[in-house]
Amino acid sequence: MLKRVFIPNRGEIAVRVIRACRELGITSVLGYSEADRESLAAMIADEKICIGAAAPLESYLNIPAILSAMEVTRADSVHPGYGFLSENPFFIEVCNASRLVFIGPGPEQVRLMGDKSEARKIVRKNRLPVIPGVDSLIDIKDAVKQAKKIGFPVMIKASAGGGGRGMRIARTVDDFVAFWPACQQEAKNAFDNPSLYIEKFIERPRHIEIQVLGDHYGDILVFPERDCSLQRRHQKLIEESPSPAVDFSVRKRLQKIAKKICKVIGYNSVGTIEFLMGAKHPYFMEMNTRIQVEHPITEMITGFDLVKAQIEVASGEKIRFSPSVVPFTGHSIECRINAEDPERDFLPCPGKITHLVLPGGPGIRVDTHIYQGYIIPPYYDSLLAKVISYGRDRQEAISRMQRALEEMKIEGVSTTINFYKKVLEHPVFQSGRYYVGWLEKILSGMKDRQSSVLLHRGTNG
């Protein structure tokens, strides 16, 4: 077993890894930025060391500083969490060369699946379902020709990244020509790679993903699916497991595909295979070679600790579970509570939390790094907490989440709590008939109504 795990990350995921280390009897060493000196993670870690200034490039993305800190603190391994260096193959190679265990997959796997075009080629080569599309395009004339062959509408995506960057839906040739340069520039800025790929756009799809866990002995576990279709600007907001749109036969097919992909690439850590599903037909979209933000809902319905398992596998242990398909009971929902103002187009709201009440009770879990008096820095993403509910069925999970959101109080900054209350009581969410794009339609309608009210007030003012 590893003895000293270095954690160059922040927020709730750093807290989550520290807690997993403590349960395993491992010393946690936090690498924090100047802005996170007073963070909860810094308070509860066994040891800590500052790795740089507030800006991510000077701290959480500063590989030389992180390596120096690991040497000084005598760490034998590093857990990257998610974001920052979690999917950086160069960082993994440097760790390996320094005889430091990277708690995650190897650099070859990260590099292969990190390039979406290459990942699609691997999946297609093994006769697994991929959305019709064309990879690694640079020239706009060639791209237009390929888009016409596929048939509009099409989705333009960055070959080397995610998070919604370099992504547009083109419904006509004119749209395509207008969006292409902007997508290339975004891809270049975000990933230093202007290459794009295009794929057929599926109307009203579901975003479904399968959690996987592999070890160094060729064993692969596959878990029940998560539904991540409730998104804004390609960023997930609410997730649930199992999906209300997936039946037993579709679940088995998704798990079979995910397991085969892991076997083909020799995967040996936690990861997630993501699919876009039209009707009952799933298509491979991408693989994330790290722990996901939404992993708690899988833990809630399976009783499986994914972060501890990830550390154990990295230590060289064999997966201690059989069979290869993990059973589940009940239903779980996660809401990502962000420091954002929905009334102002979800504008980030850093500042001081003056009053805090966290929910509890049966079936409620809160993963967070905030506390009363905590000052939210402006340098990072706006995630404050993940509220996770569990119920014997979907309706009980919804009811418990609604209760939790009523109990939760965060004052001093704007948050998305009230927005989630409205989403959860909406008939479409209650029925489970939502899809990727539905939430943005609701938001657009809310914005139009607000504009109408403001215009009416102005006319009578």
Strands 375-376 and 351-352: antiparallel
Among the listed residues 434, 240, 233, 437, the one whose alpha carbon sits nearest the alpha carbon of residue 346: 233
Q: What token pair was written down for 142?
A: 């060639």
Answer whether 106's CB lies under 8 Å from 131's CB. no
| Helix %, strand %, coil % of the chain (to 5) | 40, 25, 35
10 Å CB burial of residue 396 (0-12, 13-18, 19+) is: middle
Question: With b meaning 16 or more CB within 10 Å and e meaning fewer, what string describes 430-457?
Answer: eeeebbbebbeebbeeeeeeeeeeeeee
Please pick, among 290, 336, 365, 400, the residue that the annotation labels catalytic.
290
Phi/psi region, residue 371 (left: phi>0; alpha: psi -120 to 50; beta: rest), is beta
Q: Which residues contact 365 (CB under 8 A, 6 or more apart)?
A: 296, 300, 387, 388, 389, 390
End-to-end CA distance of the chain: 70
Residue type, 334: E
For the question of residue 99 being annotated catalytic, the response is no
The residues facing 325 across adjacent strands are 222
* Distance from C-alpha of 332 to C-alpha of 242, rounded to nearest angstrom: 7
Q: Look at the block and give the residue holding tokens 């036969």.
A: 249
10 Å CB burial of residue 50 (0-12, 13-18, 19+) is: middle
The residues facing 155 across adjacent strands are 169, 199
Answer whether 213's CB lies under 8 Å from 292's CB. no
Q: Catalytic residue numbers?
A: 290
